[in-house]
Structure 1
Amino acid sequence: MKKLGSMSFGKKIEYIFDYYKFHIIGVVVALVLIFSVVGTLLNNKPLGFYAMLLNAQGSGFSTEEKVLEARFADMAGIDGSEKVVIDTTATYNPNVNSQFNMAENAKITALFASHDLDALVIDPGVFTYYALNGAFTDLREVLSEDEFGKYESENRIYYIDGAIREKMKSLDAADIDATSLSAEESGIQEKTVSGQADNASKEAEVNQDSDNISGGNSVNENTESKNSKNSDDESTTDVESLNQNAAETLDEMEQFAADLMGTPDVVAREDFMLPDPEKMEKPIPVGIIVTDVKLLSENGYFERTVPVFGVPVVSDRKELAVKFLQFLEEC
């Protein structure tokens, strides 16, 4: 101690490190391991809520995701034992064929499949793309009568036509049936050809000395072959006609849906028109327009398009999705 007392500060540090460097290194390594384990445990918390703002790009974002997540967790009463995720960077356009776009679609599909996605805010074109595939809940099932009436009076409810969705499902089923029928017809044709070959082989073994009988058999074989060919041609024509009609009808339905509710692309704000439920056979309210809500407008989200809020039908936390809607409007 006397020796340390007579040393300068720099010499003291050097002396201590020389004699205790292994102890110091051990303490540092232990602290790193502790922080690493704690960080891993925190990041592996069970998911308490997942929201996605899809295609939300703007000129600049002022609030970080972590801040939004903490604020919503506090507002919704989600304690620290569960993880809250608000993804504001995801993008997807069904019309773009790229590796990045396919990866984003795979990510969204996985979230739907695992029932982890609780709330979606999307531009109207891509929203309709998902809605026509049955992705969103009827809002009358998750909102109270007063809440639904409020949004309806403000003309903010986004409808899709359930009749279109049902017809598109039936057309998909028709495509599958047509494919199965085509395969079945191919099998029948193969059996017919095989049967004809067997018959020809057997007839070759029959008495070949009688020219009249052989000639008669030849005529009969030609007649049967023509009849079989005509039958096969008619079956093939029927299958092709069914496939063509199904494809044409599907194209017409997709075009009708596009004309009514927008193409599956990012719709510019100035080009947006709210779908009119009066023109629909079975109007279903699946979305809420959230263009002017405070959180989105103040942070520059969806500057170039119209954001639509929806609750995924697979969500197991729909009550939290409704709270997230309130969070968007109030915070």
Structure 2
Amino acid sequence: MTPYEDKTIKDSLREERKKLKDMNGKDKLWYIWEYYKIPIISVFVSLFLIISIASAIYSNRFETALNCVILNSQFTSESTSPDDYFDKGFRQYINLPEDTKIEVNHSMSLSFEESAMNDFTYAELAKLSAMITSKELDVMIGRKDSIDHFGKMDGFTDLKEILSPEEYEKVKDKIYFVTSDETGQKVAAGILIDEADFEKKTGLLIDGPILSVMINSTHKDTAHDLIRYMFGL
């Protein structure tokens, strides 16, 4: 048996500490990385997996009641926020339990003018399209250009199918119609929101906001509740 084979773990650790003690800072970093990079990487990968799994398990505990995206908005207030209006006010309005999520994304910006398109806007459009295709999105609030873009492709539910005749009568002057490219028919694709009122309640400024419900929304009942909440129906 060689002297190396007869070493205890304690002896090995003592030798490693002595080596590191005699090195300067740069050499210490090089030595640690050169000889211990595999265990270091393994630890980081393990931690990442543990955190990812824990996060997924935690998120899966919560059911999503509504997923809404607000496009091309500008935050203008310090006294109110979208969370106050949607995740607190609307949650209370429909008596939604705390373990059910209302997700509102107001950070996305889109442009459909060719001259304004760039890598960022293409990426945002791809992200939004993926959300729609995967049925992750229920409600879109945006400017006329956004609603026209997706409405022409039959992306929105006809609000006549969601609102009762009495409710529709109350908001008929606010209904926004889009002509389908496929059928040529006008569809009640959205409902006009008062710009000043929306900014006052959410702190978000949008040029002529329109609310639309996605054609493949899996939470149309909650989307209907949101319309009733916003318009006092």
**Normalising TM by the smaller chain, what interval?**
0.5 to 0.7
The structure that is helix-richer by fraction is: 1
| Higher CA-based Rg | 1
The answer to whether the 8 A contact 2:82-2:203 is kept is: no
TM-score by length of structure 2 reads 0.66
Per-residue deviation, residues 131-187 of structure 1 (Å, max 9, x unmatched): 0011101111111001111111xx21111223xx126xxxxxxxxxxxxxxxxxxxx
CA distance in 2 between counterparts of 1:166 and 1:43 reads: 39
1:287 to 190, 197, 200: 190
Note closer, same or farther for the CA distance 1:307–1:102 as it changes in structure 2 (3 Å cut): same
CA distance in 1, matches of 2:128, 2:223: 17
Alpha carbons 2:63, 2:100 under 8 Å: kept: yes
C-alpha root-mean-square deviation of aligned residues, in Å?
2.5
CA shift, 1:50, in A, is 0.5
Question: Is this contact kept in 2: 1:48–1:84, CA < 8 A?
Answer: yes
Return the alpha-carbon distance in structure 2 between the equivalents of residues 58 and 80 of structure 1. 26
Pick closer, same or farther for the CA change 1:92–1:139 going to 2, 3 Å: same
Structure 1 unaligned runs (5+)?
Answer: 1-35, 168-280
How far 1:79 moved relative to its partner? 1.8
Q: Residue 65 of structure 2 aligns to a residue in which SS? A: strand
| Number of residue pairs the alignment of both structures matches | 176
Equivalent in the alignment of 2:10 = none
The verdict on how the C-alpha distance between 1:62 and 1:329 changes in structure 2, with shifts beyond 3 A counting, is farther
Q: CA deviation at 1:117?
A: 0.9
Counterpart-to-counterpart distance in 2, 1:298 and 1:79? 22
Residues 174-211 of structure 1: CA distance to partner in whole angstroms, max 9, x if unpaired? xxxxxxxxxxxxxxxxxxxxxxxxxxxxxxxxxxxxxx
Spell out structure 1 runs of 4+ moving beyond 6 A. Answer: none
What is the deviation of 1:315? Answer: 0.1
User: Counterpart of 1:73?
Assistant: 91
Q: Given the alignment, which residue of 122, 142, 150 partners 1:102?
A: 122
Deviation digits for residues 233-269 of structure 1 (CA, Å, limit 9, x no counterpart): xxxxxxxxxxxxxxxxxxxxxxxxxxxxxxxxxxxxx
Residues 135/104 of structure 1: CA separation in 2 closer, same or farther (3 Å cut): same
Whole-Å separation in 2 of the counterparts to 1:299 and 1:47: 21
Separation of aligned partners in 1, 2:170 and 2:111: 31
CA-CA distance at 1:310 after TM superposition: 0.6
Q: Structure 2, unaligned stretches of length 5 or more?
A: 1-50
CA distance in 2, matches of 1:118, 1:64: 20
Distance 2:88 2:72 in 1: 22
* Contact 1:48–1:83, Cα closer than 8 Å, also in 2: yes
Identity %: 21
Structure number with greater CO (CA < 8 Å, separation at least 6) is: 1
Q: What residue is the counterpart of 1:50 in the other structure?
A: 67
Task: Check 1:61–1:88 CA distance in 2 against 1; reply closer, same or farther (3 A cut).
Answer: farther
Query: In the TM superposition, what is the alpha-carbon distance from 1:293 to its structure 2 partner?
Result: 7.0
Higher strand share: 2
* CA–CA separation in structure 1 for the residues paired with 2:161 and 2:122: 32
